[in-house]
Amino acid sequence: MTVITTEAFVIGSINLKESDRIMSFYTKEEGKISAVGKGARKSRKRFACSMELLDHLNISYFKKEGKEIYSLSSVDLIHSISHSQIDLKKIALFSYIVELIREFSPPGEANNDIFDLLIWFHRITLVESEYMLIICIFILKLLLYSGFAPQMNQCCSCSSKVDGKEYFFSNEKNGILCSKCVEDKCHDKPINLGLIKFIERINSSGTNMLERIKLSNREAAYLFKILDPYTRLILEKKLKSIDFLKEVFREG
Ligand SMILES: [Zn+2]
């Protein structure tokens, strides 16, 4: 049996019988893991905090060879964003972000870039209320760090460089098509040069520079309409949190 101590973010929990919980974490050391917290719903002695969604924690757990679910031994809160000024938009945003992380992350694989992206998300949600922009940046970075970044600097079919003409985003081709190569203009959404440059800038910027990159609400909402079906195609499934997210954000 090995003891692992690491920073982690809460990305899910399921209540078990009595007061136990199975917790899902995105950890710095081992990426996505699951661990049982014995008495986690009751004992503040063992677990000093309540472990809300996206809480940033220091955790220790016992790991046994061959077992997929580990045993949580201690938890200390570093920072929580679930306790202050929580509203429907934030609930929808947090549910969507953790589902993206769960779906894109294979268990047991550490990825420091994704861990840093979660730290950025913590910081940005405290100061930025343009949630659609945050969502778009988060998706783009997660796609990049998971190896699914769309090709944006040249046409995916004829390889001609972007030069300011008309472009379309193709889910099937994993990037943009020029107007000569696009076959179905009803299916592939038009994407303007501003959005193409925005995506390239997000992809090439470190998380410490992301705050400087802006986009209007209208354009962020349009970009989300491009990115949402693209992520769905990659994951080959519809996210459970997506309808709630769309509903909450449609209402303004
Ligand atoms: Zn082309």
38 CA distance to ligand 1 middle (Å): 57
Whether the predicted pLDDT of 45 surpasses 70: no
> In angstroms, what CA-CA distances link 27 with 7, 31, 206?
6, 5, 20
Tell me which residues have their CB within 5 A of the ion that is ligand 1: 155, 157-158, 178, 181
* 52 close to 83: Cβ distance less than 8 angstroms: yes
72 CA distance to ligand 1 middle (Å): 53
74 CA distance to ligand 1 middle (Å): 55
The token pair that represents 33 in the structure block? 């893991």
What's the whole-model pTM score?
Answer: 0.94
pLDDT for 163 equals 85
* 142 close to 100: Cβ distance less than 8 angstroms: yes
Q: Give first-to-last CA distance, the chain, whole Å.
A: 51
Ordered by where they begin, the domains of the chain are 1-84 (2.40.50.140), 86-252 (1.20.1440.120)
Over the stretch 12-34, which tens digit does the pLDDT of each residue have?
999 888 788 899 999 999 999 99
* 167 close to 173: Cβ distance less than 8 angstroms: no
How many C-beta atoms lie closer than 10 Å to residue 169's C-beta? 26
Say which amino acid occupies 128: E
pLDDT for 46 equals 65
Whether the predicted pLDDT of 129 surpasses 90: no
167 CA distance to ligand 1 middle (Å): 9
More confident residue, 84 or 209: 209
> In angstroms, what CA-CA distances link 114 with 8, 12, 41, 89?
12, 17, 28, 23
DSSP string, 155-220: -TTT-PBP-SS-EEEETTTTEEEETTT-S-TTTSEEE-HHHHHHHHHHHHS-GGGGGG----HHHH
Q: Percent of the chain beyond pLDDT 90? A: 74
CA distance 88 to 103: 23
156 CA distance to ligand 1 middle (Å): 7
170 CA distance to ligand 1 middle (Å): 12
Q: Any idea which residue has 């004829």 for tokens?
A: 158
Residue 149 host element (H or E): none
* Helix/strand/coil percent split, the chain, to 5: 35, 25, 40
**Which ranges of 105-160 would DSSP assign to H, the alpha helix?**
112-127, 131-145
155 CA distance to ligand 1 middle (Å): 5
22 CA distance to ligand 1 middle (Å): 49
252 CA distance to ligand 1 middle (Å): 37
168 CA distance to ligand 1 middle (Å): 10
- Provide the β-strand partners of residue 119: none
